[in-house]
Structure 1
Amino acid sequence: MTNKAKIEFLYKEDGIRNVDFLSDLLHDDFILDWDSSQGNVKMYKSDIINLAKELKNNYVDSIMEISHIIEEKNTIVVKYNHKATTIENPKEIVLIAKFVVIWEFEGDKIKKGYQISKPN
């Protein structure tokens, strides 16, 4: 699977909540630099695995609507909206946040990420 195909799986096939997929995709030295409404956060591989578990437990469905995906050498940029259905209201799709993320690969694993998000 190409790196772009891995990123497409991450978002389009609910790989963001798949612990096994993420464990294989993320480099052991992975770091995500995330600017959000809460400020700047640094997340490591274990943090992302824990976030995947939280997303799996808290949302019935998790939908990523990609509007842009650009690949250049070992870098992939994705712009997307994250929508979900909650356990309390599984019939209503709610926009959680809007994201832009830059993924840097080392070989076939994501080594670094730079993400900006804005809540709905």
Structure 2
Amino acid sequence: MKNKKQIEFLYKEDGIRNAAFLDTLLHDDFILEWDSSEGNLFLEKSAIINLANELKQNYEDSFMEISHFIEENNQIVVKYNHKVTTIENPKEFFLIAKVVAIWEFEGDKIKKGYQISKPN
């Protein structure tokens, strides 16, 4: 699967909550530098997979409203709104964060990521 297609699956097909998909997508030496509401975080592959499982457990559904999708060389930039539904209210999506992410590929795996998010 080409890098662009992998990122499209990550966001458009709820791959962000799919631990098995993330395990194949992320390089073993993956690192994410994330400027979040909790400060500047550095997360490895295992932490991202744990986060995917947590998102899957805590939310009924997840939807990424993508406004920008740019690919250049081995990098892809995505700007999106992350919306979810809860188990208690599965019919109503609500915005949990606004996100900009930059993904750097090594071959067909994401080796490095940079992300800025703002909770809603």
TM interval, short-chain normalised: over 0.9
Aligned to 1:14: 14
Q: Provide the rounded CA distance (Å) in 2 between the counterparts of 1:77 and 1:109.
A: 15
Aligned to 1:115: 115
Seq. identity, % = 78
* Superposition TM-score, scaled by structure 2 size: 0.98
- Which amino acid counterpart does residue 51 of structure 1 have in structure 2? L
2:45 is the counterpart of 1:41: no
> How many residue pairs are counted as aligned between the two chains?
120
| Offset from partner CA, 1:55-114 (integer Å, 9 cap, x none) | 110100100011100000000000000000011221221100000000000000000000
1:36 is displaced (CA, Å) by 1.0
**1:23-102, aligned counterparts within 5 Å?**
23-102=23-102
Q: Say what the alpha-carbon RMSD is for the aligned residues.
A: 0.6
Q: Provide the rounded CA distance (Å) in 1 between the counterparts of 2:70 and 2:63.
A: 20
Large movers: runs of 4+ above 4 Å: none
Q: Specify every segment of 5 or more residues in structure 2 that has no aligned partner in the other structure, as ranges.
A: none
Q: Specify every segment of 5 or more residues in structure 1 that has no aligned partner in the other structure, as ranges.
A: none
